[in-house]
Amino acid sequence: MLDVARLRRQFPALNPEGGVRPPVFLDGPGGTQVPQPVIDAMARYLATSNANHGGSFAASRASDAMVREARAAVADLLNAPSPEEIVFGPNMTTLTFHLSRAIGRTLRPGDEIVVTRLDHDANVTPWVLAARDAGAVIRYVDIHPEDCTIDLDDLRRQLGARTRLVAVGCASNAVGTLNDVRLITHLAHGVGALVYLDAVHYVPHAPTDVQAWDCDFLACSAYKFFGPHVGILWGKRALLEALPAYKVRPAPDEIPDRWMTGTPNFEGIAGTGAAIEYLAEVGRMHPSSGAESSHTSTRRRDVHAGLASIRSYETDLGRQLLEALTARPRFTVLGITDPDRLSERVPTISITMQDRPAAAIAAHLAARDIYTWAGNVYALNLSERLGLEERGGFLRMGVIHYNTIEEIDRVVVALDELQAGD
Parse the chain into domains and list their residue ranges. 4-34+300-419, 40-278
Number of C-beta neighbours around residue 207 at 10 A = 24
H or E element in which residue 20 lies: none
- What's the Rg (C-alpha) of the chain? 21
Across the strands, what pairs with 331? 353
Cross-strand partners of 25: 371
Pick from 191, 162, 166: which is nearest to 180 by CA?
Answer: 166
The residues, ordered by sequence, that sit 6+ positions from 95 with a Cβ below 8 Å of its Cβ are: 87, 89, 219, 231, 232, 233
Can you give the pLDDT at residue 106? Answer: 97
How much is the pLDDT for 289? Answer: 46
- The torsion defined by the Cα of 45, 49, 50 and 51, in degrees rounded to 10, comes to -140
Helix (H, G, I), strand (E, B) or coil at 197: strand
Max CA pair span of the chain: 67
Least Cα distance to 178 among 64, 315, 56 occurs for 315
Per-residue pLDDT of the chain (422 residues; tens, 9 = 90+): 899 999 999 999 999 988 889 999 999 999 999 999 999 999 999 999 999 999 999 999 999 999 999 999 999 999 999 999 999 999 999 999 999 999 999 999 999 999 999 999 999 999 999 999 999 999 999 999 999 999 999 999 999 999 999 999 999 999 999 999 999 999 999 999 999 999 999 999 999 999 999 999 999 999 999 999 999 999 999 999 999 999 888 777 889 989 988 899 999 999 999 999 999 999 999 876 444 444 557 999 999 999 999 999 999 999 999 999 999 999 999 999 999 999 999 999 999 999 999 999 999 999 999 999 999 999 999 999 999 999 999 999 999 999 999 999 999 999 999 865 55
Q: Cα separation of 266 and 110, whole Å?
A: 41
Choose which CATH entry (3.30.360.10, 1.20.90.10, 3.30.590.20, 3.90.1150.10) describes domain 4-34+300-419.
Answer: 3.90.1150.10
Give pTM, 2 decimals.
Answer: 0.96
Q: Point out which residues pair with 166 in neighbouring strands.
A: 114, 195
What CA dihedral angle connects 140, 219, 96 and 233, to 10 degrees?
-150
Residue 348 near residue 339 (C-beta atoms within 8 A) = no
Tell me the angle at which helices 298-326 and 58-78 cross, rounded to the nearest 10 degrees.
Answer: 60
- Please give the Cα distance from 383 to 389 (Å, whole number): 5
CATH assignment, 40-278: 3.40.640.10
